[in-house]
Amino acid sequence: MSKPVVLLAEELSPATIEALGPDFEVRSCNGADRAELLEAIADVDAILVRSATKVDAEAIAAAKQLKVVARAGVGLDNVDVPAATQAGVMVVNAPTSNIVSAAELAISLLLSVARRIPAAHASLKGGEWKRSKFTGVELFEKTVGIVGLGRIGVLVAQRLSAFGMKVVAYDPYVQAGRAAQIGARLVSLDELLAEADFITVHLPKTPETVGLIGDEALRKVKPNVIIVNAARGGILDEAALFTAIQEGRVAGAGIDVWDKEPKTDSPLMQLDSVVGVPHLGASTDEAQERAGIAVAKSVRLALAGELVPDAVNVQGGVIAEDVRPGIPLTEKLGRVFSALAGAVPQSLDVEVRGEIAEQDVRVLELAALRGIFGDVVEEQVTYVNAPVLAKERGLETRLVTSTESPDFRNLVTLRGTLADGSQTSVSGTLTGPRQVEKIVEVDGLDVEVTLSEHMAFLRYEDRPGVVGTIGRVLGEAGVNIAGMQVSRGSKGGDALVALTVDSAVPTDTLDAIVQEIGAVSGRTVDLEG
């Protein structure tokens, strides 16, 4: 038998090839040359890329034998994951390969700004000796605020603690006990902004986090604060930061990631108190080598038909055909649950009822966890690391199955208990020959809403005029309603409006609706991406 063919579309370390081992025929091509790539990929079993090679729908269609696309890095911007999934091609990456490098870069930026190293270097290189001009500040006994306590945030906290710093952290999806284990005190974002002498951002980029550190936030900080963003561009509002530094409300900043990349003309780079670099978080020899070795091991596992820890679009192992359609449904229910709850629960039941309960549905428990954590942690969430994330955050899960389902052929319910003892639940099903994904219950109230990219849920006391008010405020904001359903427990009692809309509902618009109708709660859900 011929050996499986692995194509290296970009230069990778010798350690990557060594990790593949002798069981494969290894070929090389220039993945940036489109014609060369399309010819070379035609008969390969796996392709390894970095960032220069675009593995899009055209490339996947040209690769008739392709089983695995492996990205030797964290991002997947150059890989068409939906097209790969549709073609049955596994996509893997190296989600933890750069976490140490990213953490160290954040700290490097913080120190560079604090001690004014780049400006002092430029001055000395220009023939000047002006020691008094570059007086800096110490980290010792200062307070650092870490916005986002995922894996990179934890590494930063641990390392800055060794500098003798006090650590406060904001992350609504981390339990206080978990933060305390690494010596951090969990606080609200407003408390962090007010207390911190240094702020470093380590959040994923989501509709909720874009612009999180903007003009309003930057008016709550100390004037001597130094801010670092080595997470994702756009979380820190660059225009607001520029104004705050010019007005003396922020002392300085270190920036690795930008709202648009590549970016060589940022006004921030005109300021002596800003240190900027061109997205170097993963740019170390060690991170690149770890990434190559990690994806090489994943390719070996995938082509051997074994479980692949870092698969981003499929779970390893055999999944029954009847269960497969429930995987994306359950993952989306997890994302809806997180949005509705606003926090990671302490316990979660994943209830699977109906005909599919006769099959092995353990993958649905993993899908639920992947959905719950997908929008709230910085790292890539896979079916393997999702249980680890749950354990790290003190979340206990239980899979409950029953073949009895009185109202639907199959039903998946996520039912969680939060730290304050309150409960949140959401149920979904697939209907009709096209297997349309629908939400059919929220917090005990019956609804029937097709899952959409943009949704909103409002809880309020039942009374006339509410629906009209919601429509008016959304209309004034230019948000078009695609669908709306009202559900209530009893006349004049607890009521729920579930909306699907054509575009994301701005935060200020949602706040206006909540205030005008006196809502108990208002939540938006964005399932784009």
- 0.75 exceeded by the pTM? no
Smallest CA-to-CA distance from 133 within 141, 121, 144, 142 is with 121
Give, in order, the Cα–Cα distances in Å from 399 to each of 135, 191, 193, 413, 458.
59, 38, 40, 10, 29
**pLDDT: which is higher, 129 or 309:** 129
Which residue in the list 50, 178, 232, 290 is annotated as catalytic? 232
Smallest CA-to-CA distance from 201 within 95, 142, 281, 140 is with 281
Facing residues of 71 across strands? 49
Angle value at C-alpha 246, between 240 and 250, nearest 5 degrees:
70
Listed ranges 85-94, 199-208, 320-329; the one with the highest mean pLDDT:
199-208
DSSP state of 254: E
The mean pLDDT value for 100-129 works out to: 97
The mean pLDDT value for 403-409 works out to: 92
Give the model confidence (pLDDT) of 296-327 as tens digits.
999 998 887 666 767 887 654 456 778 889 98
Does the pLDDT of residue 383 top 70, yes or no?
no
Residue 102, class by beta-carbon neighbours within 10 Å (0-12 exposed, 13-18 middle, 19+ buried)?
A: buried
Provide the edge-to-edge strand list for the sheet that holds 521-526.
Answer: 481-488, 494-501, 454-461, 521-526
Facing residues of 49 across strands? 71
- Decide if 279 is catalytic: yes
Whether 494 contacts 462, CB under 8 Å? yes
Confidence of residue 384 (pLDDT cuts 50, 70, 90): low
Give, in order, the Cα–Cα distances in Å from 442 to each of 70, 366, 424, 436, 487.
38, 21, 8, 18, 10
CA dist 491 and 129 (Å) reads 79
Confidence of residue 87 (pLDDT cuts 50, 70, 90): confident
The 3-state DSSP class for residue 436 equals strand
- Name 118's Cβ contacts closer than 8 Å, sequence gap at least 6: 112, 275
Q: What pLDDT does 382 receive?
A: 66
The mean pLDDT value for 485-508 works out to: 91
Query: What is the pLDDT of the chain when averaged over all its residues?
Result: 92
Tally Cβ neighbours within 10 Å of residue 515: 11
Give the model confidence (pLDDT) of 39-74 as tens digits.
999 999 999 998 889 999 999 999 999 999 999 988
The 3-state DSSP class for residue 349 equals strand
Q: What pLDDT does 194 receive?
A: 98
- Name 39's Cβ contacts closer than 8 Å, sequence gap at least 6: none
DSSP state of 112: H
Confidence of residue 400 (pLDDT cuts 50, 70, 90): very high
Give, in order, the Cα–Cα distances in Å from 341 to each of 31, 46, 336, 420, 470.
44, 40, 9, 11, 22
The 3-state DSSP class for residue 65 equals coil
CA dist 231 and 317 (Å) reads 33
Which residue in the list 159, 279, 362, 488 is annotated as catalytic? 279
Per 3-state DSSP, what percentage of the chain is helix, strand, and coil (rounded to 5)?
35, 25, 40
- Decide if 104 is catalytic: no
Q: For a pLDDT cut of 90, what percent of the chain falls above it?
A: 76
Angle between helices 99-114 and 151-161 (to 10 degrees): 50
CA dist 74 and 102 (Å) reads 11
The 3-state DSSP class for residue 46 equals strand
Entry field: residues in the chain: 529
Angle value at C-alpha 529, between 179 and 71, nearest 5 degrees:
80
- Decide if 71 is catalytic: no
Give, in order, the Cα–Cα distances in Å from 510 to each of 426, 439, 479.
21, 21, 11
Which residue in the list 261, 286, 355, 396 is annotated as catalytic? 261
The mean pLDDT value for 116-137 works out to: 96
Give, in order, the Cα–Cα distances in Å from 461 to each of 333, 447, 472, 517, 521.
25, 17, 19, 9, 11
Whether 430 contacts 325, CB under 8 Å? yes
**Which domains are delineated in the chain?**
5-95+286-314 (3.40.50.720), 99-276 (3.40.50.720), 319-451 (3.30.1330.90), 453-529 (3.30.70.260)
Residue 529, class by beta-carbon neighbours within 10 Å (0-12 exposed, 13-18 middle, 19+ buried)?
A: exposed
Q: What pLDDT does 319 receive?
A: 64
CA dist 417 and 433 (Å) reads 34
Facing residues of 169 across strands? 146, 186
Does the pLDDT of residue 86 top 90, yes or no?
no
Does the pLDDT of residue 525 top 80, yes or no?
yes
Give, in order, the Cα–Cα distances in Å from 152 to each of 236, 284, 456.
17, 16, 31
The mean pLDDT value for 416-442 works out to: 94
Q: What pLDDT does 207 receive?
A: 85
